[in-house]
């Protein structure tokens, strides 16, 4: 049974800075708990190495939609079944609302227990707060990819 997690954080940087940083998937281990490594394989494919509750997992994910300064959507291709979208909304010249919405189908005992106990919700909330701290402390992105990916169909 899948769960939906939604978390919102307002960051004190321009929308392009927040968006550009989010496209730097290989930097995710710097602010995402349990993410050990992400390799960008090509413009739309990533390989993830994660650890949760002592259990290591590797999986591939595909960027299914990407529009600069608006949204990035993805779906896992292997391993734990999950998909999500991150949206970016300009609130002011130097303030952006970042919304993460994820559909997760927990795989295995540890993930199911974590889901039922609200641990996954808290982890995503923590990741979003760490993203806020990461980008606000830097004041600028570590890189950017401004390409468009159109949703299939």
Query: What are the extents of the domains in the chain?
Result: 3-138
Segment 139-148, tens digit of pLDDT: 888 888 888 8
User: pTM of this prediction?
Assistant: 0.89
pLDDT at 40 (0 to 100): 93
d(CA 11, CA 51): 27
Check whether domain 3-138 has CATH 3.30.920.30, yes or no: no
pLDDT at 117 (0 to 100): 65
Q: Which two tokens stand for residue 42?
A: 């090509």
Percent above pLDDT 70 for the chain: 90
Contact criterion met (CB below 8 Å) for 98 and 86: yes
Residues 6+ away with beta carbon under 8 Å from 71? 65, 85, 86, 87, 88
Segment 43-76, tens digit of pLDDT: 999 999 988 778 888 899 999 999 999 999 999 9
């Amino acid at each position: 049974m899948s769960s939906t997690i939604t978390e919102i954080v307002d960051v004190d940087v321009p929308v392009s800075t927040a968006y550009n940083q989010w496209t730097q998937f290989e930097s995710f281990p710097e602010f995402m708990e349990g993410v050990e490594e992400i390799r960008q394989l090509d413009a739309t494919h990533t390989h993830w190495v994660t650890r949760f509750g002592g259990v290591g997992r590797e999986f591939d994910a595909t960027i299914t939609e990407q529009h600069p300064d608006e949204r990035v959507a993805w779906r896992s291709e292997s391993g734990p079944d999950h998909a999500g979208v991150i949206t970016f909304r300009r609130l002011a010249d130097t303030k952006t609302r970042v919304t993460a919405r994820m559909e997760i189908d927990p795989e295995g005992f540890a993930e199911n227990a974590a889901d039922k106990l609200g641990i996954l919700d808290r982890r995503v909330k923590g990741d979003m707060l760490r993203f806020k701290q990461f980008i606000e402390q830097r004041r600028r992105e570590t890189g950017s990819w401004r390409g468009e990916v159109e949703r299939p169909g």
